[in-house]
Structure 1
Amino acid sequence: MTASAIAVLDIDGTLIDSDYHHALAWYRALRSVGEIYPVWRLQRLIGMGGDQVVTAVGVEDLERRVGDRAREQQGKEVDALLEEMAPLPGARGLLLAVKERGHRLVPASSAQQRHVDVFLDMLDARDIVDDWTTSADMESSKPAPDLLQVALKKLGAPPDAPSVMVGASMWDVEAAKRAGMPAIVIRSGGFGDDALRKAGAIALYDTPLA
């Protein structure tokens, strides 16, 4: 990154090992309202905003019938899995390295506030980061660029400020592209290298501090 650049990092799935937990939470939530979809299919949607997942997996009819109930239950299922989530190797080290190099740092999450609070505590990150986002900060979720744009605004930075996105999914890469940011991807999201590079990822790593 250039001097005084801004690092916008997805936290849920990129710094915290949680993407597969979210896929399982969606499976359980949908099953609780009588809908069963294979976990592998749900996993491919993790990183997309939760408000879009039900439509993406089952088109608009599924959203109309069970969307609100499934989302509410998915949040509860994530609550039950929080103790099984943990920071990925090197996650806190990456935050420290970014700050030590003089860059500004914003974990940009579309997760609910209570989950972001847990993740920040897991990383012991509150005194490291410059600010952070939650689902309450956005109007449109990923792959829309809103969350990344909000992250810049929280620092008082213009949309074209030197910045980079660090994420774990195709949806992170797409959001970064729409926001005009280069995207670095951690493989924790389970997406194939070819697909990530085709989407526009400029670099791929196994762990946050690799």
Structure 2
Amino acid sequence: MAADAPAAALFDVDGTLVDTAYLHTLAWWEALRQYGHLVDAAPVHRAIGMGSDQLLDHLLGADRDRSDDEAISAAHLALYAQFWPGLRAFDGAADLLRACAGRGWRVVLCTSASGRELDVLRGALDADDAVFAVTDSDSVAVSKPAPDLVHSALERASAPAGRAVFVGDSVWDVRAANRAGTPCVGVETGGFAGEELRGAGAVEVHSSVGDLLASLDDSVLAHPRGGDR
């Protein structure tokens, strides 16, 4: 691999950079209830980080009647949108993106959100000056934990998998990154414990993006490196 190939720092947004994981849990729990699916909140939370196509299969089974899937997803989005005025980025999130960009990484937001939802998240983050590219759910056929979103982000950055690092908050992020051949740094901000993230294959874990920022010199994100990691 060429040492001068572009290097990409890929960031999940929901639950990683913006404090939304539990808001999504509440919105999915209520959307499912509205359509007759009484799913406990705990397994709903454990599925956050998947795209809606994967999440419904995971919670309701792949062999279910899918006739309500679009309506459930629309209800989730409508319920989640009620929280949009109060969305906030985690402390240090914007500074982390700027620090990575300043160290030579091409920063790519890699999110299952799209459309107006993505606009709201980017507004809460307020770090577009540090962002090289964005890839979203409209760019792929299959969402996380499939690797498609990570592949799309790498293409947007023109970076090979071995010159990239993914930062995410869920085991689904870690698995998607690993399947794409990209190491993943985990943060515990979405409610997954460090042991779970490491067990899924994260190369390092931090309690928050603020902690990652403070530890950046000792992280795989310290500086882009030539060759495979």
Shorter-chain TM range is over 0.9
Query: Which amino acid in 2 is paired with 1:202?
Result: V
Within a 5 Å distance, the mapping from 1:47-196 to structure 2 comes to 47-62=49-64, 64-157=66-159, 159-196=160-197
Distance 2:137 2:65 in 1: 19
Letter in 1 for 2:152: V
Q: Can you give the 5+ residue segments of structure 2 that lack an aligned partner in the other structure? A: 212-229
In structure 1, stretches of 5+ residues that fail to align are none
* Residues 54 and 62 in structure 1, CA contact (< 8 A), matched pair in contact too: no
Deviations 1:48-70 (A, max 9, x none): 11111111111135452422211
1:160 CA drift (Å): 3.4
Equivalent position amino acid for 2:37 in 1: E
Q: CA deviation at 1:151?
A: 0.7
How many angstroms apart in 2 are the aligned matches of 1:200 and 1:104?
Answer: 23
* Cα drift, residue 192 of structure 1: 2.1
Contact 2:114 2:137 in 1 (8 A): yes
Greater Cα shift, 46-55 or 170-179: 46-55
What count of residue pairs does the alignment treat as equivalent? 208
Residues 29, 62 of structure 1: CA spacing in aligned structure 2 closer, same or farther, 3 A cutoff? farther
CA distance, structure 2, for counterparts of residue 63 and residue 27 of structure 1: 18
Q: 2:21 aligns with which of 19, 22, 25?
A: 19
What's the TM-score once normalised by structure 2's chain length?
0.86
Distance of aligned partners of 1:115 and 1:63 in 2 relative to their CA distance in 1, 3 Å threshold: farther
> CA-to-partner distance for each residue in 1:72-109, whole Å, 9 max, x for gaps?
11111111111232101110110111011121100100
Contact map agreement 2:24 2:80 (CA 8 A) in 1:
yes
Partner in structure 1 of residue 206 of structure 2: 205
Normalising by the residue count of structure 1, what TM-score does the alignment of the two structures yield?
Answer: 0.93
Residue 39 of structure 1: how far off its partner (Å): 1.1
SS of the equivalent of 2:72 reads helix
- What CA distance in whole angstroms lies between the structure 1 residues aligned with 2:147 and 2:87? 26
Contact in 1 for aligned 2:87/2:124 (Cα 8 Å): no
The answer for the alignment partner of 1:38 in structure 2 is 40
Contact persistence 1:55–1:63 (CA under 8 A): no
Residues 82 and 63 from structure 1, CA distance in 2 versus in 1: closer, same or farther, beyond 3 angstroms?
Answer: farther
**Deviating runs (4+, > 4 A) in structure 1?**
none
For residues 202 and 63 of structure 1, what CA distance do their matches in structure 2 show?
39
